[in-house]
Amino acid sequence: MSHHAHHDHLGATALDDGSTRFLVWAPDAERVEVVLAEGERVEPLTATDRGYHEAVVSGVGPGDTYRLRLHRPDEEPVDRNDPASRWQPEGLHGPSAVDDPHHDFTDDGWVAPPLHEQVLYELHVGTFTPEGTFDAIVPRLGDLRELGVTAIELLPVWQFPGERNWGYDGVLPYAVQHSYGGPAGLRRLVDAAHAAGISVVLDVVYNHFGPEGNHLPEFGPYLTDRYDTPWGQAVNVDGPHSDAVRRYFVENAVRWVREFHVDGLRLDAVHAIPDQSAVHLLEELAREVHAEARRLGRSAFLVAESDLADPRLVRSPDLGGHGLDGQWLDDVHHALHVAFTGEQTGYYEDFDGLVDLQRALRDRYVMAGRYSPHRQRTVGRSGRDVPYFRFVACTQNHDQVGNRMLGERQSHLLEPGQLRASAGALLLAPFTPMLWMGQEYAETAPFQYFVSHTDPELVEAVRTGRRREFAYFADQGEAPDPQATETFERSRLDWSRRDADGHATVLALYRELLRLRRELPALTAPDADEATSTLHAAQTLSWRRGRASVPADDVMVVVHAGDDAVEVPLPPDAAWELVLDTAETRFDGPGGVVVRDGVLHLPGTATALLRRA
């Protein structure tokens, strides 16, 4: 990762002898000093090769605050936060602090389940509970485990401006958000989650930095103007001085596994990390994180968000891939969204409903070398050789809900029967499923875009940008103010709804679907056959899976997105029994789904699961 010894980590590392080692990459500075005790003590760092500055400073330990003073040619010295600050107890604009990495973890022997056994649950720490902290999540872990969740996936938790933010505006990737409980709070949550049998995945953002409080360019060329991204200049991972920038991100990824015991990372928008190196940054991340997990006797997986429809992300480096464990497959969301809502504006114009779910079952990507009217070019290639479980699918997530102007969930957009059928289509599909917080009981609180910036000009720019982005929603009124406290507050979950009429039966359906997913191997087992699918009509799709080693395990799933009655002939080579349908009266449905004379009769919208009798 660098010429430094493995134990010389970036930032401030507390040592056992009561001193702290400081290490910072600042090639644009002639000198760097550590400013301690609110300026009463200043200690010089020693410049070494390749732009690093370091020193061991006595009498400094966990909890002590500091800033780094940069002396740059022909400029006045400035005091800045450490780019690898581990803790910001007073927030983004306060001083950095030395973190105490020693936590009495009780998770000895914990090894996260493999990806094909995972059921992910994406949540935003600030709105998941009224308190909005790591500690407040702990009492809910039992509820999630009872539901069938195996992993919580936290939206970015590194330090961002203020106390309200989705987390993608962070500028200090090593520091854990102070208002959530800081690094100690995250360690407590991970330990408690493992005790409850739940893995922890962090959403990390290695493709850009937020606009407020970003002083990294004063230290060195962390960014490059060689490429443009939706957020401006790209991170510099393949230009001059990029070795140190790559180290900055790779060491960050490894640290979550080593010091916080996290089980996985979700990599935000990797298509916005341009890298022409012979070894792509993603491959280096995967190699180093996997190696650290093995060294610790644990496991860790990396899942990327990407819109490239390129299976190289999840193929082995031996096959020319990057070696990631999985990637988000938004195609499943888009296909089901169009099937149940009929909406085809924006990027939904590329999708036609259940016929595209069939394409995803066949090629993994809907855009597998297919022309995209939205992008006006051909996109992607088939990933048919890649196992289903490497693709994480959902029907809701923070993007698909929060990037609507009003933050509507499926509970706002779908009728109850559609909501149930959509849940069945997701959880009975062979992909690794991910739920969005609250969807398991049809939460009705929206999830809207919110920030708490302190720069008035930036606040107005964000407001203007969101209004422009939502111009085609003009018929829905005024866009919520991202800076307003009430935008954040209305996005909080209301846990009391779980037990209310209508919501409790949705929760019961999710529990039953996840139970069947665990207990019927042909649904998800890595050794199960490819799904054999049939499009019976534009709004009716079925697929069948089995295992050659156990022919009697065959299962069949039928998704009907229309509200008319349909009859679906069942394969004649076996007798089939109905295991579950989402229209059952126990789930507040109308009932009436039956198997008779080798035909499945669906009186309306429903998803049905059958198995070989």
CATH of the domain at 535: 2.60.40.1180
pLDDT score for 2:
38
CA distance 80 to 24: 12
Q: Residue 5 pLDDT > 60, yes or no?
A: no
* pLDDT in the model for residue 1: 36
Same domain for 390 and 243: yes
Distance from first CA to last CA of the chain, Å, rounded?
56
Q: What is the largest CA-CA distance in the chain?
A: 87
For residue 469 the two structure tokens come to 């982005």
What whole-number distance in Å separates Cα of residue 187 and Cα of residue 259?
A: 8
- The answer to whether 555 and 546 are in contact (CB under 8 A) is yes
Active site residue 75: no
The mean pLDDT value for 258-282 works out to 97
**pLDDT level of residue 6 (50, 70, 90 thresholds):** very low
Residue 104 lies in a domain: no
Task: Decide if 151 contacts 119 (C-beta within 8 A).
Answer: yes
* Nearby residues of 315 by Cβ (< 8 Å), 6 or more positions away: 321, 322, 323, 386
In a domain, 1, yes or no: no
Name the pairing type of β-strands 78-80 and 52-58: unpaired
Any alpha helices (H) in 261-378, and if so which ranges?
Answer: 281-295, 330-341, 354-363
Question: Cα–Cα distance between 217 and 329 in angstroms, integer?
Answer: 34
Instruction: Tell me: do 405 and 537 sit in the same domain.
Output: no
59: in domain: yes
% pLDDT > 90, the chain = 93
Torsional class of 182: left (φ above 0), alpha (ψ -120 to 50), beta (otherwise): left
CA angle 115, 121, 127 (to 5 degrees): 150
* Cα separation, 467 vs 469, whole angstroms: 5
Element (H, E) at 543: strand 540-547
Contact 361, 430 (CB under 8 A): yes
Which entry of 43, 203, 268, 408 is annotated as an active-site residue? Answer: 268
DSSP structure class, residue 68: E
What is the layout of strands, in order, in the sheet containing 594-596?
566-569, 599-602, 594-596
Angle at which helices 416-427 and 503-519 pack, to 10 degrees?
Answer: 20
Which CA distances in Å does 430 have to 113, 408, 439, 520?
A: 17, 27, 20, 11
Check whether residue 537 and residue 510 sit in a common domain.
no
Give CA–CA dist 541/550, Å, rounded. 25
Residues contacting residue 239 through CB under 8 Å, at least 6 positions apart: 221, 224, 226
Position 518 scores a pLDDT of 96
Could you please report the per-residue DSSP string of 186-224?
HHHHHHHHHHTT-EEEEEE--S---STT--HHHHS--EE
Q: Is the same domain home to 509 and 568?
A: no
Using pLDDT thresholds of 50, 70 and 90, give the confidence band for residue 120: very high
pLDDT for 476: 78
Per annotation, catalytic residue among 122, 203, 275, 305: 305
CA dist., res. 591 & res. 607, Å (int): 12
- Of the listed ranges 3-7, 10-14, 350-354, the least confidently predicted one is 3-7
pTM, whole model, 2 decimals? 0.96
| Non-local CB neighbours of 104 within 8 Å, separated by 6+ positions | none
Is pLDDT above 80 for 7? no
Tell me which of 66, 97, 128 is where a domain ends.
97
449 plus 342 within the same structural domain: yes
- Tell me whether strands 151-154 and 199-204 are parallel, antiparallel or unpaired: parallel
For the chain, what is the domain count? 3
Please report, in range form, the residues annotated as the binding site for substrate. 266-271, 330-334, 398-403
Position 336 confidence tier, pLDDT thresholds 50, 70, 90:
very high
Any bridge partners for residue 35, and if so which? 42, 67
Give the 3-state secondary structure of residue 359. Answer: helix
What does the DSSP 8-state code read for residue 479? P
**Tens of pLDDT, residues 423-471:** 999 999 999 999 999 999 999 999 999 999 999 999 999 998 888 877 7
- CA-nearest of 64, 45, 41, 61 to 53 is 45
In the predicted structure, residue 338 carries a pLDDT above the cut 80: yes
Place of tokens 């997701």: 426
Nearest by Cα to 62 from 15, 28, 120: 15
Helix spans in 278-413 (H): 281-295, 330-341, 354-363, 398-402, 410-413
What's the pLDDT tens digit per position in 553-601?
A: 999 999 999 999 999 999 999 999 999 999 999 999 999 999 999 999 9
Give residue 412's pLDDT.
96
Q: Is residue 418 part of a domain?
A: yes
Are 121 and 26 found together in one domain?
no
Q: CB of 166 within 8 A of CB of 177?
A: no
What 545-548 contacts at long range (C-beta under 8 Å, 24+ apart), as own/partner pairs, is: 545/430, 546/522, 546/612, 547/521, 547/522
pLDDT, residue 548, reads 84
CB atoms within 10 A of CB 139: 10
Q: What pLDDT does 4 receive?
A: 45
Domain that holds residue 464: 117-514
Mean pLDDT of the chain: 95
Q: Which of 491, 514, 537 is the last residue of a domain?
A: 514
Cβ contacts of residue 473 below 8 Å, gap of 6+? 404, 405, 406, 479
Query: Is residue 110 in a domain?
Result: no
Quote the distance between the C-alpha of residue 270 and its chain's center: 12
Map residue 56 onto helix, strand or coil. strand
Q: CA 298, 304, 309, 313 torsion: positive or negative?
A: negative
Query: pLDDT per residue over 196-251, tens digit each?
Result: 999 999 999 999 999 999 999 999 999 999 998 888 899 999 999 999 999 999 99
pLDDT of residue 102: 84
Do 541 and 417 belong to one domain?
Answer: no
In a domain, 102, yes or no: no
What is the average per-residue pLDDT within 522-548?
Answer: 95
User: For position 18, which CATH number holds?
Assistant: 2.60.40.10
Q: Is residue 109 part of a domain?
A: no
Active-site residue, 259 included: no
CATH no. for residue 367? 3.20.20.80
pLDDT in tens, 374-391: 999 999 999 999 999 999
Give the three-state DSSP class for 135.
helix
Q: Which two three-digit tokens encode residue 565?
A: 């009655």
605 with 535, same domain: the answer is yes
Backbone angles phi, psi at 564, to 5 degrees: -90, 165
Give pLDDT, residue 179: 97
Same domain, 558 and 605: yes
Torsion sign over Cα 115, 120, 125, 126: positive
Domain check: are 535 and 406 in the same one? no
Q: Same structural domain for residues 127 and 82?
A: no
**The pLDDT value given to residue 391:** 98
From 459, 489, 514, give the residue that closes a domain. 514
Question: What residue spans of 233-277 are helical by DSSP H?
Answer: 242-260
Residue 293 located in a structural domain: yes
Q: Please indicate, yes or no, whether residues 341 and 478 belong to a single structural domain of this protein.
A: yes
Give me 288's structure tokens. 């180093």
For residue 322, what are the contacts with CB-CB under 8 A and spacing of at least 6? 280, 282, 283, 286, 312, 313, 314, 315
Q: Is the confidence at residue 340, as pLDDT, over 80?
A: yes
Helix, strand, coil distribution of the chain in percent, nearest 5: 30, 25, 45
Structure-block tokens of residue 92? 């983004």
Predicted pLDDT of residue 533: 97
pLDDT of res. 498: 95
pLDDT for res 474: 61
Name the amino acid, one letter, at 155: L
